[in-house]
Structure 1
Amino acid sequence: MDPSQEAERLRLFVSRITDYAIYMLAPDGTVSSWNAGAQRFKGYTADEIIGQHFSRFYTPEDRAAGIPEKALRLARETGKFEAEGWRMRKDGTRFWAHVVLDPIRDENGELIGFAKITRDISEKRAAQEALRESEERFRMLVQGVTDYAIYMLSPEGSITNWNAGAHRIKQYEQDEVLGSHFSRFYTEEDREAGKPAYALEQARTKGRFESEGWRVRKDGTRFWAHVVIDPIHNDKGELVGFAKITRDITERQQAALALEKARDSLYQSQKLEAIGKLTGGVAHDFNNLLSVITNGLDLLRPIVKDPEGAGLITSMEKAAMRGASLTNQLLTFARQQPVTPEPRDLNRVITAFEPVLRRATRSSVKFEIHVAGQLPAVMVDVALFETALLNLVVNANDATLDGGSISVATAAVQLREGEIGRLAEGSYVVVSVGDTGSGMTEEVIARAIEPFFTTKAVGKGTGLGLSQVYGMVQQFGGDLKITSQVAQGTTVALYFPVSTEEAVEDSLPPPSDKVLIVDDQPDVLEMASEMFRTLGFHVITATSGRQALEILSRTPDIHLLFSDVVMPGSSGVELGRKAQEISPNTRVLLASGYTTPAGSLKGFEFLPKPYRIADILKKLRALG
């Protein structure tokens, strides 16, 4: 083909292209040719633009900066100039152009002009700009989030970026964590268990991993986290990393635990309330039956003359006494026992009661009392409190092996609402009895205060000791808490609300006091003697009024006379009057199975049978 024809065909081809502006520039930059694409992009006809300098297509600011001349120079010196930028149309509107400028040289290497190709890529740039703006907005959004830790991980688990929420929750600066493995946020035990690797594997294979667990901040503190890990794949489906979102939900978890604790406490309270109503009703009815039995036995005793019958009555009386003790414990649990609360300093009460507590423990078990320096007063019935405390010490003694220890301690504490059972926020006095004994399982702790529940062998316990303690502390507006570990020991803590009243002084006689106990029934005499020894008294016994008067005559420092009312010969009332004639300082406490004993009781305290240690303590305080 003729070269001139080939050149013409090429000229026609270029001139008709509309997607590209393809034209020639003279060495000085003036336009020397123009195609259809150039006319479409820039709005000039060939007649309007040929001979004009190409810089007219640049923006005023680019012309002021010398960009057109720089483009020609770079094309001439480097062999090519390529760039993107704003260009001007004839109507003054702008478009984003991709520009290539190539120098054209003759056979001798002389520059004869430039070939310039321009493409309007405004739409492409607009799309790129929109994408960039979208990505920037997303980046700003992620970086601005403070409630969530949002960051990326490499496929191996290394941290590649870090947002403000991650800094707030985990306390690390970005420079401190970038490039490090995300397992640093896990607890040591979770790392040893391989949980970080498991999380990534689950996200990779399942398409998502979600869990909750403890995580560690920079300062070493822990928080409860909700974690989501999603795998990120490229267009080819290749794993390029993971998106990780972590939220601190410690408060939510604590609220859930508090709600669960409150529900458990309410359930336990309702259960014990129901048991209390049942046992209280049963105990009242049973007490009425026991009263009939004991009164009937007292009426039978003078009638029955043969030794065998008398012995049978004595055995029946012992059984009735045990039954009465059980019913009284049930009434205390049910909070239906009549009480006389008064403001007391529990430090003084415990210190005065210490000899009794020590006698309740074996010599091979170390017993200690640790009282707080100063305690505010609490409202309690001292006799019930002492009985409850004695129950706890006896239980601790039974659970503790030789060489172990038991401690009684007091303290003043401030409680948050619901911290102990359902107690309100406020000031409390806590009395705790701790031991190093066999301890209890969680299942046993949950049932420990239920009536008749016991872990002791048959015949070794009634299962009412802790029930009585629970009923007592509840009756005075408090609650108890049991903490225990198997083979390590148990602590039972009693919480009493602080009273605004001043504590009254304890009028209980000192343990060195002497008591003369008089009863014609040996078994009853033995039982009463043991009770008073438990209370710390020096006990002297007599089996008749005559024998008692002889003892009083030669022992003037007897502080208390405790006598049965109905005895052969001289009655307890007569004995009491004669005793006060011999020793005016001797106080008199009379006991009887009759609800209203014969004779005047003026000047004496009366104790109906059957009685407990708590009943004796009440009467001793009444005597002053």
Structure 2
Amino acid sequence: MFETTSHVTGENPAGKTDGIIEARGPDGLLKAAALQSAILNSASFAIIATDDQGIIQLFNIGAERMLGYAADEMVNQRTPAHISDPLDVIARAVVLSRELGTSIPPGFETLVFKAARGIEDIYEMSFIRKDGSRLPVLVSVTALRDADDAIIGYLLVTTDNSARKQVEEQLRWSEESFRLMVESVVDHALVMLDPEGCVLSWNAGARRLKGYIAEEIVGQHFSRFYPPEDIDRGTPQQDLDLATATGRSESQGWRMRKDGSTFWASVILTAIRDPAGNLRGFAKLIKDMTEIRQVDAEMANARSMAENAAIANADFLSDMGHELRTSLNAMLGFAQLMESDSPPPTPAQKENIAKILQAGWYLLELINEILDLAMLDSGRLAWSLEPMSLADVMLECRSAVEPQAQKSGIRISFPEIDRHCFIKADRTRVKQVLSNLLSNAIKYNQVGGSVLVECGERASQRQTECGESVPQRLRVSVTDTGPGLSPEQLEQLFRPFSRVGQETSAETVAGIGLVVTKRLVELMGGAIGVESTVGEGSVFWIELVLAAAPQLVEDEAEAALPAPPPGTGIAPRTLLYVEDNPANLQLVEQIIARRPDMCLLSARTGALGIELARSSRPDVILMDINLPGMSGIKAMQILRADTATAHIPIVALSANALPRDIERGLEAGFFRYLTKPIKVNEFMDTLDVALKFAEQEAGERE
């Protein structure tokens, strides 16, 4: 082995001396020996020193631990080439020969060739441990020279390179996996761009989508995929600028293929930055959306056609409903007059009149249900969700159905409902729903049967699949003692025109009412259901969302009550009726003939009605909507704009009975809006309210 001398020099690759261990005197020699011993005995590095022939002269503790050999097994017996992987030695010889332009045989000379010539010599190698396992190492070789600059040996300082190689292998595998994954994607184009927007990589999806192979496109600017008009607008650079500023840009638009064809692309451009925040390039993801866009367009067109068809159907039914109502107005109006005529009709006549009225009101109900269903299908049904008192609506329904129940010999029981119990719903639709359920419970009951109405809160702690709380609801149930429904009938119950119940009832069944009821309840955010037992009866229930009570004026209800009919000791009041249909005019004439406190004027057109209103100044005007020439709404607006007639209450009377028709009429300025066929009692009540209003207006003007 080497002994400590007074002067041993190790040359670094640049030819400069370093690592000089120089002893000057006995004390210096001792210190140099101690320093050398500390270095050589370090366990962190494998230090191997050889003579000029490569025979190992020093094999330190670090080398023993790293390779598993004892120093005695190596010193003066082997060269570092014996513990090097032969394949690595051969590979290094080939590389060096090519690099230095000279033939270098594999062996020890390969390991020290550069160092012997004063060239930097740090390289990676694999050593073979004593147990036969391979150890990746990083080797730094230094030529040892004497005072005369002659090579007397070599120093190999080796570190374990396993961790680094493992990281490199993982990185290589990660990159290779990513490359394979990107390359395997064929339904998306995955393209890497440099900071200027030039193509760096081109996957199989890009080849398939755009028609270029990598050799044709790598290095080209990505703007070549944009249509000329987009390039003129600077769209490619704008996309890069947005991704640079925000980290990401998304867009859709037309893109060009190699053959000149275009496709509709969805593009995501993501900025790639290094840990220091410097822009390294962009990742671009492109998907062909042409077929999806075409399908979306076709679906939108089909949806539009369906909506237009539904609207056209609703308009047709609305117009047809108007015509049917006009005819029914005369039929039901005169039938009601005949029923209450003086002298009264004979029993046979009374029975015939009752049948006329029953058929007429049924036909009116059927028209209303068909129109409601058509409006629901077209999405044009007018409704508004707001807090409303269930007690008030239930009271109105009770007043409407109790006569029907009494006539059929049905006992009906209603609960006491707190007036401060409010639900979030549309008042008109709730009344329609409750009226339908109550009417059905009476129609399809047994003689002498009963109907029980119950109401109660349903506390709910349930949550939807999305974790949202289900609002607390109020349940209203209607129980009858009818024949009940079988499971097969229940399956058909909410289908249009199913006619469930026809077989056990004398009532005519259209099979529409419950369908409309279900749709209305669901539109208001509620639910509907039924439980039935054959031979015992059925329970129909609805649940509606509870709402907080609004602040109400205490005497609001009283303020809205109609005034009593005027006394007979005052001068007759004048009613002007603008109507072009003789039958409708004749009906109103006969109704007013029973009011000694009123006289009737009439006009066949809107223009004549305006002229008559200005000259006669009637107390109340009754206006049809569909008039020849000028519409009733236009005539009303002209009268409203005239100071001489602006104070006169104008009541609409029309066969246009859809909720949106009524809403438009009231918004336009009508005092009230009545629908045909006329219900005589409702008609008279409305006239009384209008006369009271006219009287108040006259008093204020005086």
Query: One fold, TM greater than 0.5?
Result: no
Tell me the TM-score normalised to structure 2 length: 0.39
